A and B are shown apart, each in its own frame.
Chain A
């Protein structure tokens, strides 16, 4: 998405000996001050508080059965959600870029609904739909498929809130892809599926992968949408963010900060992976250009 900005000519203007434009001190000062107060200071507080706990107790907290179960549920549900979006997101990116049909603009705008809609509202709406008396639940449950208060409900909520990631990362890359390459392969006798697998997919793969990684990261941290549909049963549908919240309400701050620190570190690792994937994808692009 936006992280592709390194492709823009950052160094197009040569490094000048003297700065022509004013305002470096003011804008840089404001930026650093604001970042320091709003972003870095609170993060430092979390890391300090988590550090105060001591390694033995930290480990005891995060390896307690309930915490381990919460992490497992969170990661498993996020994986299911990412798998759903890997398929749905790719399909949507493909039809939005490649085909022209009535209502395409509306469909394109709809892809942003999950970002615009508050997560609590999304959770409420999904719960109403899939509850046993809801529009979908009343059809699914007699068929033996239960969504609400199961891990599938958790995954569904995560999938909904992370829809735009895959679509919006793959879309621009697909738009840049020259259709002549595909036509060349078609002329050479390749079948559409072969063309997609051998020609299109390798090009969009880095963007696709980083879109999936972003969706996964977002799913790990999702809270608002999940708490409504999950039922929040310990060892069954209790996600890690919720466990943090419960520990806070019990005023067990060390436990809350330890579990929060694990979530924070996981998010950083995924961010790092995504950056590496994107750098890899961009390097390929620059070399070809």
Chain B
């Protein structure tokens, strides 16, 4: 890295005849980023506090918004551990063994990333909804999945399922399995090998995947809006609550709810930078 800077940077090197071009490009990049990415973050807080701190907290503490925060956290708390388990299992199967169809499996795992969230929601509606494939059977059994918590959890699982796998697979491929094989040869069982050998090696990547998974689970809008039914105070997650308040012409309320989500996103970004820093230092 640092060798690259020294070679590419200095103006006397011939490649960059004047420092003007880099300065111009950096300036342009900074200005565009400020307009394009930073101002949207700033405007959320500016609007949320537009009528003062009291109004802000009154809006955050409104029962429906509080319930939306609770529901969103509940969904994340259910979804993230499940996807961590799936991610670890899939990464173990993919990187520790050779089998046919591995590329196909990797492609299948990444499908949810390339699908529109609305389409994801529709697929679940067509499976579990009243007119869906399993709908009549579910009604007969008196099981409610759509427009209730199970539906929200299921689509969120779908949308966030690739995050952990995709962080683990490249890392575990590079690390190989020699250490695990040594542990097994020395008499460790599978769980011991995983917990004492593999887990310490992959913990930061795992955490990174979990952070990305949580951020998306908390912020998912399109897929959840199809399956939630938007029942106020019942199945409204925080992103849906933002939309609802906005359409109610309660701008401060919408921005207050949005500011909570923005804070979560900023915390997630800090966590990401901190984790990357740890990984780089190793």
**Contact in complex: B116, A118 (CB < 8 Å):** no
- Interface stretch, picked from A54-62, A108-116, A144-152, A201-209, is A108-116
**Contact in complex: B29, A92 (CB < 8 Å):** yes
Find the residue from B115, B167, B212 having the highest chain A CB count within 10 A: B115
Main secondary structure of the interface of A (DSSP, over half): helix
**Contact in complex: A95, B26 (CB < 8 Å):** yes
What is the bound-complex CA distance between A195 and B126, given in angstroms? Answer: 54
- Interface: A15 (CB within 8 A): yes
Find the residue from B29, B116, B181, B242 having the highest chain A CB count within 10 A: B116
**Which residue of chain B is the closest to A245 with respect to CB atoms?**
B118
- Interface: B41 (CB within 8 A): yes
- Interface: A129 (CB within 8 A): yes
**Which residue of chain B is the closest to A242 with respect to CB atoms?**
B118
**Contact in complex: A223, B184 (CB < 8 Å):** no
Q: Mark B18-55, 1 if CB is under 8 A from A, else 0.
A: 00011001101110110111111101100100000000
**Contact in complex: A45, B123 (CB < 8 Å):** yes
Query: With A91-B25, A94-B25 known to touch, is A121 a contact of B262 (CB < 8 Å)?
Result: yes
**Contact in complex: A125, B43 (CB < 8 Å):** yes
- Interface: B231 (CB within 8 A): no
- Interface: B190 (CB within 8 A): yes
Size of the chain B interface, CB-CB below 8 angstroms? 112
Across the A-B interface, how many residue pairs have beta carbons closer than 8 Å? Answer: 308
**Which residue of chain A is the closest to B40 with respect to CB atoms?**
A125
Find the residue from A8, A42, A253 having the highest chain B CB count within 10 A: A42
**Which residue of chain B is the closest to A15 with respect to CB atoms?**
B98
**Contact in complex: B221, A223 (CB < 8 Å):** yes
- Interface: B202 (CB within 8 A): no
**Contact in complex: B93, A31 (CB < 8 Å):** yes
Contact of A42 among B33, B107, B124, B190 (CB under 8 A): B124
- Taking the nearest CB of chain A, how far is it from the CB of B271, in angstroms? 10
Contact of A109 among B7, B41, B93, B272 (CB under 8 A): B272
Main secondary structure of the interface of B (DSSP, over half): helix
**Contact in complex: B16, A192 (CB < 8 Å):** yes
Q: Mark B221-261, 1 if CB is under 8 A from A, else 0.
A: 11001100000000000111011001000000011001001
- Interface: B77 (CB within 8 A): no
Size of the chain A interface, CB-CB below 8 angstroms? 104
Docked complex: B115-131 residues within 8 A CB-CB of A? 115-120, 122-127, 129, 131
What is the bound-complex CA distance between A157 and B32, given in angstroms? Answer: 15
- Interface: B69 (CB within 8 A): no
- Residues of chain B within 8 A (CB-CB) of A268 are 114
**Contact in complex: A2, B29 (CB < 8 Å):** no
Contact of A120 among B39, B167, B243 (CB under 8 A): B243
Contact of A129 among B40, B122, B127 (CB under 8 A): B40
Give me the interface of A with B, judged by CB distance under 8 Å: 2-5, 8-13, 15, 19-24, 26-28, 30-31, 34-35, 38-43, 45-46, 48-49, 88, 91-92, 94-95, 98-101, 103, 105, 107, 109-122, 124-126, 128-129, 134-136, 159-160, 163, 175, 179-180, 182-183, 186-187, 192, 195, 217, 220-224, 227-228, 241-242, 244-245, 248, 253, 256-257, 260, 263-264, 267-268, 270-271, 275
Can you name 19 A-B pairs with beta carbons within 8 Å? A2-B167, A5-B169, A10-B102, A23-B194, A24-B96, A28-B99, A31-B89, A95-B26, A110-B37, A118-B220, A118-B242, A121-B219, A121-B258, A125-B41, A217-B114, A222-B116, A223-B222, A224-B221, A263-B119
Q: When A and B form their complex, which 3 residue pairs have the shortest distance between CB atoms, in order from nearest?
A: A221-B116, A118-B219, A42-B123
